[in-house]
Amino acid sequence: MALPQTLPGFREFYPEAMAVRSHIFRVWRQTAHVFGFQEYDGPVLEPLELYTRKSGDEIEAQLFSFTDKGGREVSLRPEMTPTVCRLVGAKANALKRPIKWFSIAEFYRYERMQKGRGRCFFQFNADIFGEAGPEAEVELIALLVQCLRGFGLTAEDFYIRLSDRNLWLHYLEALGFDEAQARSVLGVIDKYEKIGDAAFTSFTEAHGAMDETRKAKILALLAVKGIDALEAVVAQAGSEKLTARLADWRALLGGLEAMGVGAFVSVDLGVVRGLSYYTGFVFEAFDRKGDLRALAGGGRYNDLVAKYGGPDLPAVGFAIGDMTFQLLLEARGLLPKIMQAPDAYAVIGGPAERTLALGHVNELRQAALRVDYPLKQTAFGKQFKAAGESGAKLALIYGESEVARGVVKIRDLGDGKETEVPAHQLVLAVRELLGR
């Protein structure tokens, strides 16, 4: 009878994989703390409505949703944003501004597996609530950059594409598109990079053919690759809203430059982030080689807290997924071979010596030294072999002769040097040999 298999798309972490995961999380967490973000978490299981309210019922096809034993419609969380909006919204008036929060959590989506995408994955989420100005974007993008740089990735390895849904909407308004048409155009922009001119088909079907003049103007903004070009294109449109928005852009880019991350960011109006809830600046991180899917994505979502029952609270956030990110680190050889090795390994002569040895093992462990020893009594040769393979720096030798003389022989497994120390000085001696 075959054992039940791991569910498709779910992951198991053997010690080696777990070491990698822990390493990544450790750097992310440390970086977030350095930037003054506070960690939070929420439930893994949420009411289904938390997700359908924001994204409509069709989202349910992508959810791990079911009816629980109490008849509740529930879903495993596919993302953090609704949860954090609820958390913040519920206590918004009691929280000091700006609210800078982050989390590292697992998410679940009922989707087909692919490279860099499974049915469960971890995300680092960071958000700032309560700051409407581009200063919040500066801080978040700087954090995003550092979360990648912290592993040794450089501006040669990744970059961040920066765009703006507000700018697009103002621009399209100036071109005379109504609201529904503008939304349709955003969909076109999202697809244009991938399928080119065919992207306009969806607009044509809904609103009729677009005149060439306006199409050319859309393509002009789409082609913008820098602040100068952006200003030039926007100046032609001659809209007050657009001019005001440009001031935000200058503030954002200036801030990013001052923060030392300018080299990682490129102006690129081709990014609009799907049909999502974003209301202003949006950004996505990609590897430079371009053979992986997006590493991270985020943007401003000023309406969402209110939508989840909280007060009007401006917000901006981003998420980094662990799978694509790990693929990038592997490709660049930036995952250190992490080995969980003990500091010392006890080599024990026989049952008589074992009592003393275990006492010392305990003593060393109380002193926070990592110590291992063979559970079963075996020959000395085997124990030395095990000591070497464990990666320990020192072997502590408990033979008949040492125990009788009240000493412990310590062998440096690197250079083979041996010293004897009185049993009562063991902790000190081990510390010294380890250099701490």
Partner RNA sequence: GUGGUUGUAGCUCAGUUGGUUAGAGCACCAGAUUGUGGAUCUGGGGGUCGCGGGUUCAAAUCCCGUCAGCCACCCCA
Toward RNA, which CB reaches closer, 230 or 403? 403
Closest separation between CB of residue 329 and RNA, Å?
16
Contacts (CB under 7 A) with RNA, residues 263-282: 273-276
342 binds RNA (CB under 7 A): no
Closest separation between CB of residue 390 and RNA, Å?
9
User: Using CA atoms, how far apart are residues 81 and 91, in angstroms rounded to an integer?
Assistant: 16
337 binds RNA (CB under 7 A): no
State the pairing for strand pair 65-67/73-76. antiparallel
379 binds RNA (CB under 7 A): yes
User: Using CA atoms, how far apart are residues 290 and 287, in angstroms rounded to an integer?
Assistant: 5
**Dihedral of alpha carbons 212, 202, 287, 249, sign:** positive
Give Cβ neighbours of residue 105 (< 8 Å, ≥ 6 apart).
Answer: 41, 42, 44, 77, 80, 122, 123, 125
Q: From 211, 213, 230, select the one nearest 222 (Cα to Cα).
A: 230
Closest separation between CB of residue 395 and RNA, Å?
7
Toward RNA, which CB reaches closer, 289 or 385? 385
Residue recorded with tokens 């998420």 = 319
Toward RNA, which CB reaches closer, 255 or 317? 317
12, burial (CB in 10 Å: exposed 0-12, middle 13-18, buried 19+):
exposed
Is residue 55 helix, strand or coil? helix
DSSP string across 99-147: EEEEEEEEEE-----BTTB-SEEEEEEEEEES--STHHHHHHHHHHHHH
Helix (H) or strand (E) segment spanning residue 240:
helix 240-258
Near RNA by CB under 7 A: residue from 212, 416, 435, 436? 416
Near RNA by CB under 7 A: residue from 62, 239, 243, 419? 62
**Rg of the chain in Å (alpha carbons):** 29
Q: From 163, 208, 191, select the one nearest 275 (Cα to Cα).
A: 191
Near RNA by CB under 7 A: residue from 136, 349, 360, 430? 349
Stretch of 29-37, 113-121, 147-155, 213-221 contacting RNA, by CB under 7 A: 113-121
Closest separation between CB of residue 378 and RNA, Å?
7
C-alpha distances out from residue 227 to 14, 50, 251, Å? 47, 38, 11
Closest separation between CB of residue 145 and RNA, Å?
19
- The binding track of 28-57 with respect to RNA, each residue x by CB under 7 A or -, is -----------------------x---x--
Closest separation between CB of residue 137 and RNA, Å?
16
Toward RNA, which CB reaches closer, 79 or 173? 79
Assess contact for 86 and 309: CB atoms under 8 A: yes
Toward RNA, which CB reaches closer, 149 or 409? 409
Near RNA by CB under 7 A: residue from 86, 117, 307, 431? 117
Stretch of 159-167, 227-235, 260-268, 378-386 contacting RNA, by CB under 7 A: 378-386
Toward RNA, which CB reaches closer, 110 or 262? 110
Toward RNA, which CB reaches closer, 5 or 93? 5
Toward RNA, which CB reaches closer, 168 or 242? 168
Toward RNA, which CB reaches closer, 233 or 322? 322
Near RNA by CB under 7 A: residue from 27, 59, 222, 433? 59
152 binds RNA (CB under 7 A): no
Closest separation between CB of residue 416 and RNA, Å?
4
103 binds RNA (CB under 7 A): no
Residue recorded with tokens 């550092």 = 146
C-alpha distances out from residue 388 to 343, 361, 426, 436, Å? 11, 18, 20, 21
Q: What letters, b where the CB count within 10 A reaches 16 and e where it falls short, cover 27-62?
A: bbbebbeebebeebeeeeebebebbbebbeeebeee
Q: Phi and psi of 67, rounded to 5°?
A: -100, 125
135 binds RNA (CB under 7 A): no
Near RNA by CB under 7 A: residue from 25, 35, 40, 384? 384
Toward RNA, which CB reaches closer, 369 or 407? 407
359 binds RNA (CB under 7 A): no
Assess contact for 143 and 128: CB atoms under 8 A: no
Assess contact for 152 and 334: CB atoms under 8 A: yes
Stretch of 15-23, 232-240, 359-367, 390-398 contacting RNA, by CB under 7 A: 390-398
Residues forming contacts to RNA in the complex (CB under 7 A) are: 1-2, 5, 8-9, 51, 55, 59, 62-63, 78-79, 81, 109, 111-115, 117, 194-195, 273-276, 293, 297, 349, 378-382, 384-385, 387-389, 391, 395, 397, 399-402, 409, 411-416, 418
